[in-house]
Amino acid sequence: MTNKLDAEREFQAQRLREAREYLGLSQEYVSQETAISRPAISEIEAGRRKVESLELKRLATLYGRPMTYFLPNDGKKDSAVAKNEDPVEMKLRTMTKKLTPEDREEILRFAEYLRHKKSAAERE
């Protein structure tokens, strides 16, 4: 049974580490956003410390993934939400969460600019 628990903890540690790294977030940033100490984040990602359910909820929210994404699934496929999530949208959601409404509008204007710029280039 211990081997199964170790394997499950390693799976979870790897998923959490990969999600954080994919988003380009530092352990320090994750610590500040989730109120989980930076050493605890390190221990969790190394598989040396278990993750409490409330901690997992905060991490999953920050990473834009369902909690089940970080749980072993006994060979079942990942949920459709986790599988079909656009990584760019996930990162944007994480990065813009604490911006002011004005800053979010500025990002939308810039996205529109990029879209129109691409359309204009394709017409030439």
Burial level of 68, CB count in 10 A (0-12/13-18/19+)? middle
Per-residue pLDDT reduced to its tens digit, 53-108: 999 999 999 998 999 999 987 545 544 444 556 677 777 777 787 888 898 888 88
Q: Pick 11 or 96 by higher pLDDT.
A: 11
| Residue 75: how many other CB atoms lie within 10 Å | 5
Q: How confident is the prediction for the chain on average, in pLDDT?
A: 84
d(CA 71, CA 38): 22
Q: Judge contact between 72 and 12, C-beta under 8 A.
A: yes
Indicate the domain borders of the chain: 1-84, 86-124
pTM: 0.61
pLDDT for 2 beyond 70: no
Q: Which amino acid is at 45?
A: E
Domain 1-84, CATH homologous superfamily name and number: lambda repressor-like DNA-binding domains (1.10.260.40)
Q: Judge contact between 33 and 44, C-beta under 8 A.
A: no
d(CA 49, CA 40): 7
pLDDT for 32 beyond 50: yes
User: Taking the mean position of all CA atoms in its chain, how far away is CA 84?
Assistant: 14
Q: Pick 119 or 102 by higher pLDDT.
A: 102
Tokens of 55: 């901690």
Q: Which amino acid is at 115?
A: R
Confidence band for 31, pLDDT divided at 50, 70 and 90? very high
pLDDT of residue 56: 96
Instruction: Give the whole-number percent of the chain exceeding pLDDT 90.
Output: 44
d(CA 96, CA 107): 9
